[in-house]
Amino acid sequence: MPGTDSDLPVVVVGAGPVGLAAAAHLLERGLEPLVLEAGAQVGAAVRQWGHVRLFSPWEYDVDAAAVRLLERTGWESPDRDGLPTGAELVEAYLAPLAATPELAGRIRTGTRVVAVTRRGVDKTRTVGRAGRPYVVRTECDGRVVDVVARAVLDASGTWGRPNPLGAAGLPAIGEERIGPWRSGPLPDVLGADRARFAGRHALVVGTGHSAATTLLALVRLREDEPGTEVSWAIRGRSPARLYGGGDVDGLPARGLLGSELRAAVAGGAVTLHREFAITSFTPPPGGEGPLTVAGTGRDGVAVRLPVDVVVAATGSRPDLEVLREVRLHLDPGLEAPAALAPLIDPNAHSCGTVPPHGEALLAHPDDGLYVVGGKSYGRAPTFLLATGYEQVRSIAAHLAGDAEAAARVQLALPSTGVCSTDLGEREAAEAADGGVGFATGSVHGWSAEETPDAGCCGSAPEPVRASPSRAG
């Protein structure tokens, strides 16, 4: 059993869907959770993209232990087939869950975790290390407070840690100066952020479902606002991964997302720049006017785009600085737990047949320390909420001493048209077809998604007319 003081809490970092699910499972196992949330409210990251509709239905968005807690209060589940927005996920699920009598007093908001270590030893000390409690250093209202814990589950996600827009993992020259022209990955194009995009030239950078969501919203805006231009830059040869499986996708809304985007590119509503590596950004003299985006396109051809706003949908990466003083075993490429990395490696598949996994694949050299949820996938852009729920169920069982339950991991997920065993051939055919045609392949497994912090399954387009240029 990790930790020598059985009366100490298990600290859960982050009060998003996976963090609150972890607390629910720990309670069921007779353990004491303490949830530390940097935001002013639970689900703080989800609230930032509340206008986005998930393409996974409620069935896959709620955790079983969390539901059992909620049902004690008379809570009624939303339609299991309905697709919630981020705001609905918070209002109908996360907020009521956090308000249950069992959890309400065990959540501290406005409390940022800045470091985790073992009590009395630094990272270099080996002798006598095992079994020591953890010290979780926090900042709250300008005060530094150390919390002692028997175990730590880091479910803080990756939201707010965007990947740079430049190539090779580095910021492009001048990227630090583009704040006035830069947008986050999921702007509210048709709502609060409309004025920023209407009648302007927007460049969306990225090949995940966040990029697709924004592109479709921009296409819809383009129909209503003359002069709106939409460009899309991807580093790869083709967007075949994002176009996905269309009608055969196990999540229909996700299949529609790819189909609508493909139609928008084919119809000319979106200008696609393939194999585009951004090298520099040049703000206009005096700071007024379009930003110049320079880079190389297909066959090394120089490209210069004057744009009014750049949507950075290039994904995110984990903040590992807070875990510097504990011992982690991470894959050198993905920054995910080493045992998990081969199962989620995007170099091998778009999402693949990722088997259910739990404590055994998430363990690190420091006993009782786990990175869970979207952060556990490191820099791999694939994650589903249901996967995170199974992770924390298994870990809670292990911490409670139930090895059998911890090892018995199982998960039912939707089949998909996105994952393919011959994805390389699909992408090659897609590139040869000008980047807009579907390439067929043998479909297996289930899809995950490049996601916001909460690990939700992406976003669904609103119903649209059957038109190549209409994909909103």
pLDDT of residue 460: 41
Torsion angles phi and psi, residue 434, rounded to 5: 85, 10
pLDDT at 414: 61
Go through the domains of the chain in sequence order and give each one's CATH number: 10-160+316-407 (3.50.50.60), 167-313 (3.50.50.60)
Q: Phi first, then psi: what are they for 355, rounded to 5°?
A: -75, 155
pLDDT at 251: 56
Count of all residues that appear for the chain in the document:
472
Q: Is the pLDDT of residue 51 over 60?
A: yes
Indicate the angle between helix axes 64-71 and 385-399, nearest 10 degrees. Answer: 80
The number of beta carbons lying within 10 Å of the beta carbon of residue 132 is 21
Task: Report which DSSP code applies to 467.
Answer: B
3-state secondary structure of 336: coil
How confident is the model over 307-363, as pLDDT tens digits? 999 999 999 999 999 999 999 999 999 999 999 999 988 877 544 456 779 999 999
DSSP, collapsed to helix, strand or coil, labels residue 177 as helix
Q: Are 152 and 369 in contact (CB under 8 A)?
A: yes
3-state secondary structure of 149: strand
Distinct helix (H) and strand (E) counts, the chain = 15, 16
Query: Structure tokens of 275?
Result: 């194999």
Under 8 Å between Cβ of 315 and 162? yes
Instruction: Give the model confidence (pLDDT) of 163-210 as tens digits.
Output: 999 988 999 999 999 999 999 999 999 999 999 999 999 999 998 888
The three-state secondary structure class of 258 is: helix
Give residue-wise pLDDT tens across range 322-331.
999 999 999 9
**H-only helix segments in 201-251:** 209-224, 240-243
pTM of the model: 0.85
